A = this chain, B = another copy of it.
């Protein structure tokens, strides 16, 4: 597997780029998810993700090659761009 640069806030878990996020409430989580959906469709690269009220867990992998690729790092970075910086 080629090395990819792991974007800030993400880790590699079970061979996938993984990030867990917690928002103020469902509305805030959903507003974020609506924007991730736009990114996913624009990049034609879609996350495996789950939501429970204010929590969103995202896993990224390039299913077609069964590994992490630059497309995963690109989507992870774009998702980071949606988050407030501390």
Contacts and interface: CB of A to CB of B under 8 A. Distances in A.
Contacts of A42: 41-42, 44
A10 interface: no
Interface of A: 26-28, 30-32, 34-35, 37-42, 44, 46-53, 82
What is the oligomeric copy number?
4
A26 B41 contact: yes
A35 B52 CA distance: 16
20 contacts: A26-B41, A27-B35, A27-B82, A28-B35, A30-B34, A30-B37, A30-B38, A30-B41, A31-B32, A31-B34, A31-B35, A31-B82, A37-B38, A38-B38, A39-B41, A41-B41, A46-B52, A46-B53, A49-B51, A50-B50
A50 B48 contact: yes
A48 B51 CA distance: 6
